[in-house]
Chains A and B, each alone.
Chain A
Amino acid sequence: MQPLANITPLKPAGAVEVRNVGQVFTTSTQDVVALDDVSLEVKPGRFVVLVGPSGCGKSTLLMMMAGLRQQTSGAVLINGAPIPKPDPNRVGVVFQEASLFPWLTAEENVEFPLALRGTPKAERRAKAQDALKLVGLDGFGKRHPHELSGGMKQRVSIARGLVQDPPVLLMDEPFAALDEQTRMTMGDELLRIWAATGKTVVFVTHSLTEAVYLADEVVVMSARPGRIVDRLTVSLPRPRTYDMLSGDVFGGLRDRIWRHIRKSA
């Protein structure tokens, strides 16, 4: 069984380019510089994780890549083109939690972006089925979100992000609300899905272990104003395994990230 028979042909993975981006929030009392001259290049098919102290602008940066917010200065390019408004054909987004519509079933939630574009019902259903199968939720399509566990809800969100086969998948702390065990499983699941689809992934997390475990590359940001202070390549082989967590390579990378974060906090 082809994992995405109805979604294929898979689009090639996309490139993300952030060029000298700045973001200033003007509030009634003061101007807040959230991002200051951030440049970042994500090659197609890479798994890049953004980490940094709370409030350093990770979500803001992700929102720009999703076309949900426009930068004050600089440019954000997806596959070489700017993204002035959200475009689910180019970028899929998965949020922290509870962004599923509670009055729709799992499959209706996954179909939502397709329904917005007037895709015929049969095609929608078929694509949603495929996406749910891909995230391991075959047979749960008729359930409502409140009938699903936290991990299952996040799987539905991922399916919804992938249903239009976007070349880039953005994830803002998608597992932050899950317990540690579920979180570990979901990490493995995500890596499996990523391997099956070959998407470019930009992933935000507060967990250093999660960052190193998942990433090809970890991008470390400083406290406000957000700047990129370090980029680490994680050379651990794939598939990643639980044993690697206790290895020296893993520990060394995690320590290096932690020192950056402690310095700027």
Chain B
Amino acid sequence: MDNVSTLSAKISIEHLTYRYPFAKNRSLEDITLSIDAGQSIGIIGRNGAGKSTLCYTLSGLIPRFFHGKIEGSIKIDGEDVPTMSVEKLIRKVGLVLQNPFSQISGAKMTVYEEVAFGLENLGIEKDEMHERIDTVLKQFDLYKKKDKNPFELSGGQLQRLAIASVLALQPEILILDEPTSQLDPCGTTEVFEAISQLKTLGITVIIVEHKFEKLVEYVDKIALLNDGKLVKYDTPEKIFSMPQIEDYGVGQPIYTALCKRMGLKKPNGYYPVSFNETVTLLSGLKMYE
């Protein structure tokens, strides 16, 4: 695997293996990977590959909420995640769950209070709290819904609320599990824009996402999971240029599929993954004629 020293890595996972209580099979098996501080990483894989489970181990939900046996190690800045204090963990890591309905506390009467809930738990001061809440509600187009009950929101609005309430916590490491599954296309772009903004602040972002055309424009590397195992951890172009990529049931960016179909590679020998790369490649071809 990569030769990046695990010492300098913000997150380092070594030989991580995990099985849910009573489950027949392991959901994660011998995973080793490291993520440098400030990197953006995509996690991809077919349904049931173990993406959410990996998110749970990174955020400490495993083993605190989901029990079961963990083998190997998972460290943030050299400190073991499974034994780290909860106070420290919630400051360091924020997780946006795959299902926004699970994220909502259910205890709060308004959208505004729902965002405030997490901040109060962190002991953030009132003025700063209000400022943070206003910022995220505006950022995700929820400000006019601030006095509504979360259960009166549309599906996409609820997902926006789930993202907003985690972003407001300003964690050092942000993990998003399919955060855009119910968002309209502009909302999806806004989430990715927010991520690239966080990146400039040095925040480490880990995102599970099926919309590869967007994903490849924002992440440094992609971890491809299959059957609980790490198949490959590399740059998007290397991941999607793998000859066996179709075997993992994940598909590929439509631009890559198109170029493979047309037999077109970039000068570096890999297939294009993004819109811009494909435009460059195809308009070059048009001009030669």
Q: Do A and B come from one complex?
A: no
Interface residues of A (CB under 8 A from B): none
